A and B are shown apart, each in its own frame.
Chain A
Amino acid sequence: MSLVEAFGGGLIGWASMFSLLLLLIGLAFGLIRLTIGPTLADRVVALDFITVLAVSFIAVLAVATGEPAILDVAIALALVGFLGTVAFARYAERRSLQAKAPLHSKDVQDKLQENKDDR
């Protein structure tokens, strides 16, 4: 029970311990989904979830250690995580469009037609 003692003991120490355990289980679930996720979008969703989980982790640590300054880290992490998710989503969308584009775009088809004519 030395970990509970490290968090100040008492009700808050026990509650922090239990919360950290639950968050750790959630982190394990998120990491499994990040590993097996069949598509890129699944992995982006898992990363977004892990960011939210890290924010709550930091909040629990702020309570456990009695240090309110850690909360600023949580806010900054939420901001960066949101920007990262948006950037990933735009990247996935653009990558799929580029993968589809050569089949449909007109100049590529014209070029293919020219090659056929040369032969």
Chain B
Amino acid sequence: MIVDIITAILMVIGSALVCIAGLGLLRMPDLIIRMHASTKAGTLGAGLVLAAVGIHFVDVAVASRAVAAILFLLLTAPVAAHMIGRAAYRTDLKLWERNIMDELRESETLRRREAEVQAQNARDAGSTSSSSAP
């Protein structure tokens, strides 16, 4: 009876989280924010439902399979999200118009500017040495 109650609660909470993740996937304004909704809430919801399966059958074999499935989801979801995000960022990703920060782009422009300054310094040093030589 206790096992049934715990199973029912975990199953309903997990399904509700997956449903909310779908709502976020539909309503959020840009790709990165949509991924933030679907990846994290969806993985947690599926993990809770799988935990409910592991508890419901009071059996070590089923529970270990459920734990393996949860671990697999937790390992692969961030990798997949990272790969999609990188691919989308390298193609033309449109950020939300109310977005205020893009640290990756800022760091890249900063790096390019530093490289330009170093090249300029090297050119100046070369010209001064060549002019002072004769």
Cβ contact of A90, chosen from B65, B72, B83, cutoff 8 A: B83
Across-interface contacts of B88 in A (CB, < 8 A): 39, 41, 92
Given A18-B12, A53-B42, is A63 in contact with B21 using a C-beta cutoff of 8 Å?
A: no
CA distance in complex: A59, B81 (Å)? 23
Which DSSP category, helix, strand, loop or mixed, fits chain A's interface? helix
Given A41-B88, A45-B84, is A16 in contact with B11 using a C-beta cutoff of 8 Å?
A: yes
Given A19-B49, A29-B23, A52-B43, is A92 in contact with B91 using a C-beta cutoff of 8 Å?
A: yes
Across-interface contacts of B20 in A (CB, < 8 A): 26
A2 CB, min distance to chain B CBs, angstroms: 20
- Which residues on A are within 8 Å of B, measured CB to CB? 10-12, 14-16, 18-20, 22-23, 25-30, 32-33, 39, 41-42, 44-46, 48-49, 52-53, 55-56, 59-60, 62-63, 66, 68, 71-72, 74-75, 78-79, 82, 85-86, 88-90, 92-93, 96-97
A26-B15, A45-B35, A45-B38 known; 8 other A-B pairs, CB under 8 Å? A12-B8, A22-B12, A56-B46, A71-B65, A75-B65, A75-B68, A78-B69, A93-B91
- Which residues on B are within 8 Å of A, measured CB to CB? 4-5, 7-9, 11-12, 14-16, 18-23, 25-26, 31, 34-35, 38-39, 42-43, 45-46, 49-50, 52-53, 56-57, 59, 61-62, 65-66, 68-69, 72-73, 76-77, 79-81, 83-84, 86-88, 90-93
